[in-house]
Every structure is written in structure tokens, then in C-alpha cells.
């Protein structure tokens, strides 16, 4: 069996699920648009440079989850899926997932975006297994803090190994391992797998992939 891992934002999605969640909350009047957008753009600039302070970003990202009841968050998320997420899913992305599914591969999404935002998106792709950054919950409500290791940069390897260990497996147990990603921030995990694939890559990843003979594909 092959293990096939997908990054989510700007890989399987033609856009960023966390950014669009923020935009949705702005549109329904729950966030200040100018303030949120300015902070988000600075975090994104840091991300593109590989200099993101993941804990500062998560404090920003998870704070809105702590300010509203879980029931309301779930209701808003259903509408967010319709308005923001479905338009970001391309036929090419769905076809790639189905190609691997038809071969009996084990499919996994691993993303730095929190699992509240991303789990329903994984479900939309028919992918049962998701490793996202885990928002802390107490009595079913979000605290605004992170639980465990964020699945970002080397943290993706940590979280992957923890997930595999919970299944009694290691990376070496698979006939082949794949990882599809758009971002140079994912180079640690891309270097770990047998078959790294750059998807609509950022300039740094595109250059690295070309230098190392990695395939580059377009899912747009």
C-alpha cells in the first residue's frame, strides 16, 4: 500500500481555507475587516518568507473560535463551505484524489490550518484522515489556544509520525510515500517521502523542485 499525503491550502484548494474563513467572518460582521486583513497579510508575508511565528499566528487564527458558541460556529461553517470552499475545489484536484483512491492508496491531508476549519473540507474530498493543527477544547468549546504540536514545517513530520504510531505503523511500512504541496515551508516533509510533488509551487519550492528533478503539476 502507498501512503499519499496532501497539503490543503493552495494545493488541493485553489486558495487558502484559513484566509477565506476570516473573510467569511468579516462578511457576516464578526470581525473588523481592516484590522483583521492587515494582520493576516503580515502573517502571510512572513509565511512566504519562511519566517512565520506559528504560535503568534495561531493565537490570531484561533481567537475567533473562542468568542462564539460551538453550535453557532458549526452553523457558520456550513455556509462558509458553500460560499468559500466549494468554489476553491477544482475538477483537477478531485480527479487527483480519485486517481489515488482507485489504486487503494491510504489518503491523508496534513495542514497547518486548524482542524475545525479543515475537517469538513477533508470530508468533502472523501478523505477520512486529517492532521490539522488542533484547537484546544474544554467541555466542547474552543479556548483559543492550541493543543499539541502545530502541523507546520517540521511539525508536520512530528504529527505524521505520531499519527502513524497510533496505527502501529511507520513511514517505512509503505510501498511508497507521496506528498503533494505548494509551499517551501513543507520541504522538511517533502524531503522525507519517496515521491514529493510540487503543486502550483511558490518560487522557492519551484526552484528547489527543478534542481532536484521533482515533478511539478498544475491543479488549477
Helices (H), 1-153: 17-27, 33-48, 54-66, 70-80, 91-102, 115-124
CA distance 98 to 210: 26
Active site residues per annotation: 7, 9
Phi/psi of residue 140, nearest 5 degrees: 80, 0
CA distance 32 to 168: 46
Which grid coordinates belong to 71?
Answer: 453550535
Cβ(136)–Cβ(116) under 8 Å? no
Which pairing describes strands 2-6 and 216-217: parallel, antiparallel, or unpaired?
Answer: unpaired
Cβ(134)–Cβ(144) under 8 Å? no
Angle between helices 115-124 and 17-27 (to 10 degrees): 110
Amino acid at each position: 500500500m502507498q501512503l499519499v499525503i496532501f497539503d490543503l491550502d493552495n494545493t488541493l484548494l485553489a486558495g487558502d481555507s484559513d484566509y477565506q474563513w476570516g473573510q467569511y467572518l468579516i462578511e457576516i460582521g464578526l470581525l473588523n475587516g481592516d484590522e483583521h486583513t492587515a494582520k493576516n497579510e503580515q502573517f502571510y508575508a512572513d509565511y512566504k518568507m519562511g519566517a512565520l511565528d506559528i504560535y503568534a499566528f495561531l493565537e490570531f487564527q484561533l481567537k475567533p473560535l473562542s468568542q462564539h458558541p460551538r453550535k453557532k460556529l458549526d452553523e457558520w461553517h456550513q455556509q462558509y463551505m458553500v460560499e468559500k470552499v466549494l468554489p476553491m475545489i477544482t475538477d483537477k484536484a478531485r480527479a487527483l484524489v480519485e486517481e489515488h483512491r482507485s489504486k487503494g492508496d491510504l489518503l491523508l491531508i496534513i495542514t497547518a490550518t486548524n482542524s475545525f476549519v479543515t475537517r469538513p473540507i477533508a470530508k468533502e474530498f472523501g478523505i477520512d484522515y486529517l492532521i490539522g493543527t488542533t484547537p484546544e477544547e474544554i467541555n466542547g468549546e474552543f479556548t483559543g489556544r492550541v493543543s499539541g504540536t502545530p502541523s507546520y514545517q517540521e511539525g508536520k513530520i512530528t504529527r505524521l509520525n505520531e499519527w502513524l504510531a497510533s496505527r502501529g505503523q511507520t513511514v517505512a511500512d509503505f510501498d511508497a510515500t507521496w506528498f503533494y504541496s505548494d509551499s517551501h515551508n513543507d520541504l522538511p516533509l517533502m524531503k522525507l517521502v519517496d515521491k514529493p510533488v510540487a503543486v502550483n509551487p511558490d518560487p522557492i519550492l519551484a526552484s528547489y523542485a527543478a534542481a532536484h528533478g521533482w515533478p511539478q503539476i498544475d491543479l488549477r
